[in-house]
Structure 1
Amino acid sequence: MGVCRTITDETLREAVSHGKSDYPFAYYPEDIWRFDFHRIGWHWHNELEFLVAASGNAVCCVGEDKINLPQGCGVFINSGILHRFEAYQSVYAPNIVFAPSLLAPEESLIYQKYVRPVIVLSAPYQILEPHIVWQRQILQILGQIFALQEEGGRNELSTVRMLLEIWDLLEKNMAQASGLPKLRRLNHKQAQLQTMIQFIHDHYMEEITLEEIAGAASLSKSGALHIFQSGIHTSPVAYLIGYRLSRAAAELLTTQKPVSVIASDTGFASAGYFCRKFRQHYHMSAGEYRKGKQGKNMAERMYQIKQ
């Protein structure tokens, strides 16, 4: 199977529809290790998300927080919260993403009394640990939901019933955010961060400086460094290099351009520097990456033909 990537727009909003308009629910039985750079990259969505580290240990980054998720633990990510998942080995992490309106229509009493307060007033995330009774109950129900999706068939009604059970536990026990102003400040910083990220995405092929990246959000260089570090735990320049490398990797797989041309097209000053950075991130040369991925794709196509 090929490398997975997190697809987002210029604001880091996930550019994927989770489910359908008449049933906004999606189940993803994912291995974080299979994603580009072994992480489900920074993204946000209006939907609610539950993820469980079913096999292996995962890391969840939310805003300035970096949380270890040992095997058997999980996390709830609230609506509109920027987050990322990382792995240092194979981590099977099934997760569900669904619209709050799946629990109840937005104009209903149920939504206004029990759903909206959690979204608006509660913390941006909730760690789920098996040694805490109500959290263990949520983890058990999540396991049932995952199993139900694997079975397929007519499972929508049972899925929603169990989501309501989870929400009942969450609404009764999840602490309100003591730092609601902090969440608002985080959203303001997030907007500045997304503005700078959009600038990088638009100009990564050019020679751009830290001062120019900061200027895109009307910040000083030190302000840009602080927002990148507190928001996504990296520097603007490191993010720029990582984004250039991801674009170069896509070019390696989809074109026959020489490595030197790809390096130039993706903003690297020299092919030598590009090759060093590529090996550092992907633990193989650009040529090995191209050859290995193309060979794997060919093998998968031949297997499908035989089937």
Structure 2
Amino acid sequence: MHNHHFLIDNKLKELTEHSTTTWPIALYHTKIRDHMSGYIPLHWHDEFQFVFILEGEAEFHINEKILNIQQGDGVFINSGCLHMAKDANGTTCTYICLNVSPHFITTNELFTTFVHPYMHASQTPFILFNRKDGWPNQIYQCIQIIQRLIEQTPAYYELELNIQLITIWKCLLQNRFQLTYDARKHDRNERMKHMLNWIHEHYHEKVLLQDIAREGQLSRSECCRYFNDILKKSPIHY
């Protein structure tokens, strides 16, 4: 397990290769303020992400929602969702983070039924882990086992990794995952990615609101509404 300092491309996709040796899985120990920006900037990635707060408190922005997550609690972030994080309420936040490729959760035969539909469940961009609920403790315990397996690599640890990942996924499906799809939310997320991508490619030029709105195929007022809803700031301020 190691500290995580990442780069993002002009589409805000994280460039980090989330893998340990030959496996599409990675475990990070992150202190938010140690990042070069002082916070975790807005980005997205194809991997599922599981976060548990070890110290302090964090403010996560996931798509249009703002979540305050306290020590002992956590969050699951679905594939492809825009998110960022910063310290909250004057604390210094440290968290453990498991990133795993959706294709590594289970076998190809089971992937179509038990994983792929949930990747596109636009009504579930995240799932909060509240320690008072009890069931998230099983996920946290599995992550701790995964950490030991990665660090110690005992005999047959690859098989044990798969067991722990399937246990995590089954626990998530049994307790909180809603298999619902809203084309409007998916479209909204994709439009936002396109507009942010355009800004990152042209920010050194004269950036006009009408240009940003055109990239998202929106009116100027609707473009501003997107930014205010998702980023809590105007396009030009961003």
TM-score (norm 2): 0.86
What residue number does 2:133 align with?
132
Instruction: Describe the shift of the 1:211–1:6 C-alpha distance in structure 2 as closer, same or farther (beyond 3 A).
Output: farther
What residue number does 1:271 align with?
none
Instruction: Describe the shift of the 1:152–1:85 C-alpha distance in structure 2 as closer, same or farther (beyond 3 A).
Output: farther
State the structure with more CA Rg: 1
Structure 2 stretches of 5 or more lacking a match?
none
- Corresponding letter in the other structure for 2:138: Q
What residue number does 1:46 align with?
46
Q: How does 1:59-78 map to 2 (within 5 A)?
A: 59-78=59-78
Provide the rounded CA distance (Å) in 2 between the counterparts of 1:197 and 1:115.
28
Q: CA deviation at 1:157?
A: 3.1
- Bigger strand share: 2
More off after superposition, 7-16 vs 151-160 = 151-160
Asked whether the 8 Å contact 1:228–1:235 carries over to 2, the reply is yes
More off after superposition, 132-141 vs 163-172 = 132-141
Q: CA deviation at 1:96?
A: 1.0
More off after superposition, 51-60 vs 157-166 = 157-166
Asked whether the 8 Å contact 1:51–1:94 carries over to 2, the reply is yes
What residue number does 2:119 align with?
119
Asked whether the 8 Å contact 1:130–1:139 carries over to 2, the reply is no
Provide the rounded CA distance (Å) in 1 between the counterparts of 2:6 and 2:184.
26
2:164 to 162, 165, 183: 162
What residue number does 2:98 align with?
96
Provide the rounded CA distance (Å) in 2 between the counterparts of 1:160 and 1:175.
20
| Paired positions, count | 231
Q: CA deviation at 1:127?
A: 0.7
TM-score (norm 1): 0.68
What residue number does 1:198 align with?
197
- Corresponding letter in the other structure for 1:139: Y
What residue number does 1:283 align with?
none
- Bigger helix share: 1
Q: How does 1:174-189 map to 2 (within 5 A)?
A: 174-177=176-179, 180-181=181-182, 184-189=183-188
Q: CA deviation at 1:148?
A: 4.1
Provide the rounded CA distance (Å) in 2 between the counterparts of 1:167 and 1:197.
31
Asked whether the 8 Å contact 2:74–2:129 carries over to 1, the reply is yes
Provide the rounded CA distance (Å) in 2 between the counterparts of 1:21 and 1:210.
45
Q: How does 1:7-26 map to 2 (within 5 A)?
A: 7-19=7-19, 22-26=22-26
**Higher RCO structure (Cα 8 Å, ≥6 apart):** 2
Q: CA deviation at 1:177?
A: 4.9
* Structure 1 position 222 matched with structure 2 position 221: yes
Q: CA deviation at 1:140?
A: 2.6
Asked whether the 8 Å contact 1:6–1:41 carries over to 2, the reply is no
Asked whether the 8 Å contact 2:11–2:200 carries over to 1, the reply is no
Q: CA deviation at 1:74?
A: 0.9
Q: CA deviation at 1:19?
A: 0.7
- Corresponding letter in the other structure for 2:127: Q
